[in-house]
Each structure stands twice: as C-alpha cells, then as structure tokens.
C-alpha cells in the first residue's frame, strides 16, 4: 500500500540557521548537458534548506560539461562533483552519489530539472514526521518557453505519471524520488549495468523487501518537454532497449519474450491514459486522439528498440541474470509506457 503524505504550506519545516531537520543529500547524474546541469545545480543551490549537500556525478562528458561543473564546484560550497567510469550508466552514477552522500535522506533529481521553493523542506517534513522509506514526488512539465508541437503537447500531458506508476507499477521514476538512508545501508543499489529501467528494478526490490513506500504531492520538480517527434521516438526506443536488458538479467520476468506478446503490438490503452494523462477528462476528443496516437507511436518505438536490442545482442556489458528474487513483473512493459524517463 502506498500512503499519501500531505504537507500544508504553513506546516513546511522552518529553516533554522543551525538546521534541525534530517540531513539531505541530492544526487544528480549527468552525461553531456552543460546548460541543463548548470540550471539544475543553480536551482538546488538556491534552496534555503540546511543541511543539504549536492552531489553531481558525470559519466564521460564533453569538455564543456566538465568545464561547467568545475566552475560550479568553485562557486557553490555545498556542491561535490564525482566521475563514474566503470559502467557509464545513470544507475552507476547514482550509486557513486549514494556512496559519497553522508545524509539521512538521499534525493534524486535529473540534470535539466529545477525544484520549487520549499521542495526540500517538504521532503524533510515528511521523513521527519513519518516512517516512510521510499517517497515518490510529482513532476511538472516545463513548456512556458516553447511553441508546443503536437509531440510536445503529448509529452507535457503524459510524462512522469509518478503517482500512477508508484501505486500501480511499484516504482517511481528516479528524477523525483527521495529514499531514506537505511535502505542503502541495507545494501540496495541501482543496477549499474542497465541503460534504462534501473528505477523500475530498484522500486520493485524496495517493495519486495517490505520497505514503506509513499507519495507526497506537495513538493514538485520541473522537467523540460520533449517537443519533437524524434525525441519521443528516441525515448521509446531507449525504454525498449532497457526492457530487453531487464528481461535478460532478472528472474521472475515474463514467461515469454516481450515481442511475442500481444501487448507489444497493440495501441496504448485508453484506460491507462485516463489515469496517467494530466487532465484527461478535460481534454476535447481531438486532443485525446492526439495523446492516444502519440502514446501508441511511442509504444511501437519501444517495441522497435527492443527488437533492435535483440538483433544486436544488446545486453550491455554483463548479460548474466542478476541475483534477485524480483525483477520486472509480467506487466513491466506497461511500466515503461507513457512517462518513465
């Protein structure tokens, strides 16, 4: 059961000069995104919550990204910069940040995201006042500076249906997630060999171990909209490759390959969109048709990415099954639909 934790504006923890709340750390993985990581770090550094440490972990990045991180590291005392070389995946980068963090709660935010005022104070209040150990948080799509295309309209409506993912699929995308340190002290980490879907596996493992999972709708991060058909297609293909990797590595997965299931080839379910799409009931029929059409297109791109991974034997650096009792469930492809980043 996923409990909802509400924090009213007047209940958010007041920030004291000495800091009396739980120590928070935020981990940000980044590849090649100099502008995005600058925007994110500056947003995090503007938080008045104390104590808060920011850990940016980059996998091989271009010189501009590394240069931006060097500059930010000199400007912001709370920032630490680390490099991950062994796997060069988001999960491996997050693990480096987890191991470097000395905090009661570790938060995760992706590069090119920003957080609202009171974001960390709200998280601290929830962890201080409850026994929750894995806390999902909402994401708002940032589209104010865009002339939205049809693809952008779709992406802004369906991406990061975090509450639905957590309540129905047992995980929250890692771009807006907070985890109590005791979970990591018990040995749980993200699978460093997966190029996508590591947040699905981690959430399933947290649930399987019986940790308390919750959702707080009162602390929101923002994420930029994918505003092109190509970006939506690439997102779908990446998810397909990730699912193939999960299928190979984890026991307890599907009884047969994903490509041989009917769901790999059927259009997106309107019933799922009704739960995942923002303001679905308020959309006109033509706009619902646009959302459904792009969702079905992304789903087919996911199947195509999966098939390319099969053809290329794209299992990553280690195709041995992971030692876990619970991998993606039979509906894991659904967990990748319309929203997981």
Sorted by where each starts, the structural domains of the chain and their CATH numbers stand as 3-224 (3.90.550.10), 229-335 (no CATH)
Per DSSP, helices labelled H in the chain are: 34-45, 63-75, 90-100, 119-129, 150-158, 162-164, 181-185, 198-208, 229-249, 270-276, 285-311, 332-335
For the ranges 170-174, 244-248, 313-317, the lowest mean pLDDT is seen at 313-317
Is residue 113 predicted with pLDDT exceeding 60? yes
The percent of residues above 90 in pLDDT, for the chain, comes to 63
Residues near 338 by beta carbon (within 8 Å), at least 6 away in sequence: 158, 159, 161, 268, 272, 273, 276, 277, 295, 298
Average pLDDT over residues 158-164: 91
d(CA 65, CA 33) in angstroms, rounded, equals 6
Q: What pLDDT, on the 0 to 100 scale, is given for residue 312? A: 85
Q: Which of 30-34, 246-250, 335-339 has the lowest mean pLDDT?
A: 335-339
**Separation CA 181–CA 178 (nearest Å):** 10
What is the mean pLDDT of the segment spanning 128-143?
93
Higher pLDDT, 271 or 1: 271
pTM comes to: 0.86
Query: Residue 3, SS3?
Result: strand
Q: What is the per-residue pLDDT across 263-273, written as a single tens digit (0 to 9) for each? A: 889 888 889 89
pLDDT digits (tens, 9 = 90+) for 212-245: 999 999 999 999 999 999 999 999 999 898 888 8
The backbone torsions φ and ψ at residue 222, rounded to the nearest 5 degrees and listed phi first, read -115, 150
- Judged against a pLDDT cut of 50, whether residue 189 lies above it is answered with yes
Sign (positive/negative) of CA torsion 196, 198, 203, 205?
positive
């Amino acid at each position: 059961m996923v409990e909802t934790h509400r924090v009213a504006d007047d209940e958010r923890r007041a920030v004291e000069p000495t800091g009396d709340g739980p120590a928070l750390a935020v981990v940000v993985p980044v590849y090649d995104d100099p502008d995005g990581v600058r925007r994110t770090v500056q947003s995090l550094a503007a938080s008045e919550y104390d104590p808060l440490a920011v850990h940016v972990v980059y996998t091989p990045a271009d010189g501009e990204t590394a240069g931006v991180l060097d500059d930010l590291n000199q400007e912001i005392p709370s920032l630490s910069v680390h490099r991950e070389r062994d796997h060069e995946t988001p999960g491996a980068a997050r693990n480096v940040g987890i191991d470097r963090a000395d905090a009661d709660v570790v938060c995760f935010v992706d590069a090119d995201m920003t957080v609202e005022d009171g974001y960390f104070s709200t998280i601290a209040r929830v962890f201080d006042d409850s026994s929750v150990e894995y806390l999902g948080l909402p994401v708002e799509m940032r589209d104010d500076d865009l002339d939205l295309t049809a693809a952008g309209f779709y992406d802004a409506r369906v991406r990061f249906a975090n509450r639905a993912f957590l309540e129905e699929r047992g995980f929250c995308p890692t771009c807006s997630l907070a985890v109590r340190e005791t979970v990591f002290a018990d040995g749980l980490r993200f699978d460093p060999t997966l190029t996508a879907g590591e947040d699905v596996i981690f959430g399933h493992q947290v649930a399987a171990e019986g940790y308390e999972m919750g959702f707080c709708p009162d602390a929101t991060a923002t994420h930029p909209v994918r505003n092109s058909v190509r970006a939506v297609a690439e997102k779908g293909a990446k998810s397909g490759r990730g699912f193939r990797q999960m299928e190979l590595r984890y026991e307890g997965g599907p009884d047969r390959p994903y490509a041989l299931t009917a769901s790999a080839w059927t259009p997106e379910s309107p019933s799922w969109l009704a739960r995942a799409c923002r303001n679905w009931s308020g959309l006109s029929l033509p706009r619902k048709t646009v959302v459904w059409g792009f969702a079905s297109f992304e789903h087919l791109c996911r199947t195509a990415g999966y098939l390319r991974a099969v053809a290329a034997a794209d299992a990553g650096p280690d195709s041995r099954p992971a030692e876990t009792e619970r991998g993606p469930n039979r509906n894991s492809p659904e967990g990748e639909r319309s929203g997981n980043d």
